[in-house]
Structure 1
Amino acid sequence: MSKPTILIVDDDKSLQEFLELFLAKEGYQVAVAGDGEEALSYLSKNQADLVLADIRMPRLDGISFLKALREKAFEIPVIMITAYASLDTAVIAKQEGAFDYVPKPFKLDQLRDLIKRALAKERVSLEATNSETSFMGIIGQSPAMKRVFGLLPRIANAPSNVLITGESGTGKELIARAIHKLSPRRDRPFVVVNCGGIPPNLLESELFGYKAGAFTGASRDKEGLFVKAHKGTIFLDEIGELPLDMQVKLLRVVQEKAVMPLGSTKEVKIDVRIISATNRNLEKEVLEGNFREDLFYRLNVISLELPPLRERKEDIPLLVDYFLKKYAQKMGKKIEGISEFALKALMEYDFPGNVRELENIIERSVALESGPLILPENLILSRKKKGTQDNKGLKIELPEEGLDLEDLLAQIEVSLLKQALSRTGGNKTEAAKLLGLNFRSFRYRLAKYGLS
């Protein structure tokens, strides 16, 4: 096996030289960067097995560097070194994914041991990536998840754009990261964009960047997220939330493989693979005029649907065990497992929030539990989600001779549309709100039944 490579990230030249000599003597290959930005540039082109990084640095400090590593999906253990030792900084560093934290002055034996443990943990993590109950760190052994795992290598090796669909909380970002890590672009950036989390007036500048003077406050050039993802992968989460005007601009980027920063007259060529995700039915959104058909087909070259947790209940015990160990360790609690009755309650629950909801339930239960087992009384399960309706209120008997389901549903829809309009005095905006629809969707339904 080749020697592990350790990247030193520090603006202190004397400490750089000292660590370089020490690590070379210990048998490691060594690379050096003066700050976080230089380190990210190095990692975009080279491999490293471990990073030793200072917290106080110019341009990009240690904490920001950790965040950038996570955003770009660089799975590298990081040991933070700083003269500004404080518990708060240590906690922040841990939260952002640091392996550990060493205050200056440090003992060489302590640093040597930390490095060995970090590298050993990384090896174990890599060996466990493809176990019988997980794939690329995604847990599951159900037929539904095994099917997904079987598709991932093939999807990863294709250059085409991917659309991942599934309910909220099913792990769409985890799947996107796995596709990136398995792809030929694995050593390049992985950039995450939450299309529903960026204000519409900032979306264009965030995605495509801008030139100095493009608008008030633009004092310098800013690189857009598409350019940052050059040669790598961009993950457009909640793509169904993208406004129509931005859909037009994104379509041009997909077609031309170039972006136009705000305030610029020159296009910037990009080489980016696009993975999109949505919990919406985009085909339905296309029919209702909320999503461009041409963009849909550009993004949906390869489609992958993730199953909800209620359709893969055999994975629940595995996930419970994983989250129990994770949060027991994080909170310093000695919890050995979950009681039979508590697990039964989880197996009978439908998990409208999917894996994300299960994780929240277990985290909360670990926090509340004082004994060695998670007990049923410490499980807080939501029996009714906001916006849902109790099924007991609607009973329709199927006639012996059968019925025309499409016709019945159309009659129900027309009736509710008319009731909503009547109740609001013909105010379509308010009527749409009564039915939980956006205005475009409401208007589409009115036109569909000749009610507009």
Structure 2
Amino acid sequence: MASKRILFVSRSELVSPLHAEFKAHECQAMVVDDRASALKVLEARKADIVFTLPSLPGYRAQDLLDALNQAESQIPVIVFTDKGSAEEARYYMEMGAQDYWLCPLTWEKIQAVLPRDAQAPAAPRPAARSNPREVAIVGSHPSVARVLVLAKQVAPSKATVLISGESGTGKEMFARFIHAHSGRESAPFVAVNCAALPEHLLESELFGHEKGSFTGAISRKLGKFELATGGTLLLDEISEMALALQAKLLRALQEGEIDRVGGVETVKVDVRVLATTNRNLEQSVEKGEFRQDLFYRLNVIPLRLPPLAQRGDDVLLLADFFIRRLTREYGLGALQLSTEARDWLMAHDWPGNVRELQNLMERAVLLAGAGPIRPMHFLLDGQEWSPELCEEGDSVPDAPISARPSSLSPNMTMDFAGRIPTIQEMEMHLIMKSLDSTLGNRTKASELLGISVRTLRNKLGEYRKIGLDIP
């Protein structure tokens, strides 16, 4: 059997404890700490699998994943970290990583994902695993309590569940809650956004394809049904699926078997299917936009999530929850909502639901400094931020804000040293923090800041001109 070649983009101390195992099992391990060296190894086809940290000085895992995606490389990449989060795991999996691990690395885990031989495709990708303690639904309103009771009651079954509700109400969170209490929690949870891909690509994403089945199919690819075997498959925004593909999905649900695109063999799968929609599927059925038989097959257990505006004091419970989590993530001191802020939160109609509240709290935490959080920190009604808005006795952030290595020079910090920052400094502070919180995703950062992506791009261009190292 050919020697396995493993590339680590990492600090050497995280890999060195495994050198004896690598030698004993005839594995060649290479450790680099920058993008250029990593790409040089990969371009020379000297690695069968890659393990990478999310970031190192001058390096970001997403840049490496971008380069591999553009090159249509089939080399599997696993991101590992000592301080992970579900959001970061989801981000890297969507970027194309095969998996997301927490340190320490062990030989047993590495051996399990090594390709069978140097030419074989990567082993099936297990998705991020869930634990019931990690999936907390915040809320005490009776409308939420009823949904939670029903979700927990049906979780151990294999029945399909249709979770409906407005955008931003937390449908995926409830799906993860069901998976975490299903008895399948040690198996993969795999989510597919049915609105994100055109029909032919979505079919390949769900059911996989064989080598040569279409232009660009350079190797066999396992679909989400196979990757989720033994676990749970979430079909997000199911209403956006094309009618032709709905027929193939119905067969998979009824028979428990699939056909890969271009394949000749039927594959048996054991998957619990959940689906979400922000539309009224019954109306879609009446309009001929959604198959009636598929609707009945999905709607075995219907869960309807209430909009945030109808959840009463849950608004404040969620706000406090997000504030505690965000201050912990940013390393800030405890923050409290002022009475005026609480009154405003309770009076707002929340068209964006829980997602809107979460983004608003992140903005407020970044602006409030030592607090308390006031309505002015929400940047309401197109209000532009200015430190001059701070009331007497309020503080502005005066702790050094270390920028991400990918966004600023490693030596670049923002230290206001107790002084009132300029508007330009505060603006830069907010932009860099928003990019940091969204892992460099400019679209999400611009949504958080309430500006357009074009405006954000222009601002970053201005920062480059004054010498900041921004990719």
Both structures adopt the same fold (TM-score exceeding 0.5): yes
AA aligned opposite 2:17: L
Go from structure 1 to structure 2 and tell me whether the alpha carbon gap of 1:78 and 1:14 turns closer, same or farther (over 3 Å shift).
closer
**Which residue number corresponds to residue 16 of structure 1?**
18
Go from structure 1 to structure 2 and tell me whether the alpha carbon gap of 1:94 and 1:227 turns closer, same or farther (over 3 Å shift).
closer
Secondary structure of the residue aligned to 1:366 is helix
**Which residue number corresponds to residue 59 of structure 1?**
49
Secondary structure of the residue aligned to 1:180 is helix
Under a length normalisation based on structure 1, what TM-score does the superposition of the two structures give? 0.59
AA aligned opposite 2:251: R
Structure 2's unaligned 5+ residue stretches are 1-5, 9-13, 29-45, 55-60, 63-78, 93-99, 106-129, 383-471
**Which residue number corresponds to residue 454 of structure 2?**
none
Go from structure 1 to structure 2 and tell me whether the alpha carbon gap of 1:370 and 1:278 turns closer, same or farther (over 3 Å shift).
same
Secondary structure of the residue aligned to 2:175 is helix
Are the aligned partners of 1:162 and 1:299 in contact in 2 as well (CA < 8 Å)? yes
Shift of 1:10: 9.4
Shift of 1:330: 2.6
Alignment of 1:30-45 (within 5 A): none
Go from structure 1 to structure 2 and tell me whether the alpha carbon gap of 1:370 and 1:255 turns closer, same or farther (over 3 Å shift).
same
Shift of 1:63: 5.0
Indicate whether 1:178 and 2:177 are aligned: yes
Shift of 1:256: 2.0
**Which residue number corresponds to residue 319 of structure 2?**
320
Alignment of 1:204-283 (within 5 A): 204-283=203-282
**Which residue number corresponds to residue 356 of structure 1?**
355
Q: Which structure shows the higher helix fraction? A: 1
Go from structure 1 to structure 2 and tell me whether the alpha carbon gap of 1:260 and 1:321 turns closer, same or farther (over 3 Å shift).
same
**Which residue number corresponds to residue 330 of structure 1?**
329
Q: Report the Cα distance in structure 1 between the residues aligned to 2:290 and 2:342, rounded to whole angstroms.
A: 41
AA aligned opposite 2:249: L
Indicate whether 1:287 and 2:286 are aligned: yes
Point out the more displaced range, 326-335 or 339-348: 326-335
Go from structure 1 to structure 2 and tell me whether the alpha carbon gap of 1:287 and 1:95 turns closer, same or farther (over 3 Å shift).
closer
Go from structure 1 to structure 2 and tell me whether the alpha carbon gap of 1:188 and 1:13 turns closer, same or farther (over 3 Å shift).
same
Q: Report the Cα distance in structure 2 between the residues aligned to 1:368 and 1:196, rounded to whole angstroms.
A: 34
Q: Report the Cα distance in structure 2 between the residues aligned to 1:57 and 1:381, rounded to whole angstroms.
A: 51
Are the aligned partners of 2:365 and 2:373 in contact in 1 as well (CA < 8 Å)? yes
Shift of 1:382: 6.3
Report Cα offsets for 1:222-253 as digits up to 9, x if no partner. Answer: 10111111111100000011111111111121
**Which residue number corresponds to residue 191 of structure 1?**
190
Go from structure 1 to structure 2 and tell me whether the alpha carbon gap of 1:186 and 1:371 turns closer, same or farther (over 3 Å shift).
closer
Q: Report the Cα distance in structure 1 between the residues aligned to 2:285 and 2:340, rounded to whole angstroms.
A: 45
Report Cα offsets for 1:395-425 as digits up to 9, x if no partner. Answer: xxxxxxxxxxxxxxxxxxxxxxxxxxxxxxx
Are the aligned partners of 1:260 and 1:268 in contact in 2 as well (CA < 8 Å)? yes
Under a length normalisation based on structure 2, what TM-score does the superposition of the two structures give? 0.56
Are the aligned partners of 1:62 and 1:80 in contact in 2 as well (CA < 8 Å)? no
Point out the more displaced range, 309-318 or 288-297: 309-318
Are the aligned partners of 1:164 and 1:275 in contact in 2 as well (CA < 8 Å)? yes
Are the aligned partners of 1:63 and 1:93 in contact in 2 as well (CA < 8 Å)? no
Go from structure 1 to structure 2 and tell me whether the alpha carbon gap of 1:98 and 1:333 turns closer, same or farther (over 3 Å shift).
farther
Q: Report the Cα distance in structure 1 between the residues aligned to 2:283 and 2:374, rounded to whole angstroms.
A: 43
Report Cα offsets for 1:350-371 as digits up to 9, x if no partner. Answer: 1011110000111111122234
Go from structure 1 to structure 2 and tell me whether the alpha carbon gap of 1:80 and 1:330 turns closer, same or farther (over 3 Å shift).
closer
Go from structure 1 to structure 2 and tell me whether the alpha carbon gap of 1:252 and 1:94 turns closer, same or farther (over 3 Å shift).
closer
Shift of 1:201: 2.9
AA aligned opposite 2:327: A
Go from structure 1 to structure 2 and tell me whether the alpha carbon gap of 1:338 and 1:203 turns closer, same or farther (over 3 Å shift).
same
Go from structure 1 to structure 2 and tell me whether the alpha carbon gap of 1:165 and 1:251 turns closer, same or farther (over 3 Å shift).
same
Shift of 1:197: 1.1
Secondary structure of the residue aligned to 1:247 is helix
**Which residue number corresponds to residue 365 of structure 1?**
364
Q: Report the Cα distance in structure 2 between the residues aligned to 1:14 and 1:370, rounded to whole angstroms.
A: 41
Shift of 1:295: 0.4
- Count residues with an aligned counterpart: 295
Q: Report the Cα distance in structure 2 between the residues aligned to 1:214 and 1:300, rounded to whole angstroms.
A: 33
Go from structure 1 to structure 2 and tell me whether the alpha carbon gap of 1:152 and 1:221 turns closer, same or farther (over 3 Å shift).
same
**Which residue number corresponds to residue 166 of structure 2?**
167
Secondary structure of the residue aligned to 1:61 is strand
Shift of 1:261: 0.7
Go from structure 1 to structure 2 and tell me whether the alpha carbon gap of 1:147 and 1:381 turns closer, same or farther (over 3 Å shift).
farther
Are the aligned partners of 2:234 and 2:274 in contact in 1 as well (CA < 8 Å)? yes
Secondary structure of the residue aligned to 2:276 is strand
Report Cα offsets for 1:161-188 as digits up to 9, x if no partner. Answer: 1100111111110110111110121111
Q: How big is the alpha-carbon RMSD for the aligned residues of Structure 1 and Structure 2?
A: 3.6
Identity of paired residues, percent? 42
Q: Report the Cα distance in structure 2 between the residues aligned to 1:136 and 1:93, rounded to whole angstroms.
A: 14
AA aligned opposite 2:51: D
Shift of 1:13: 8.8
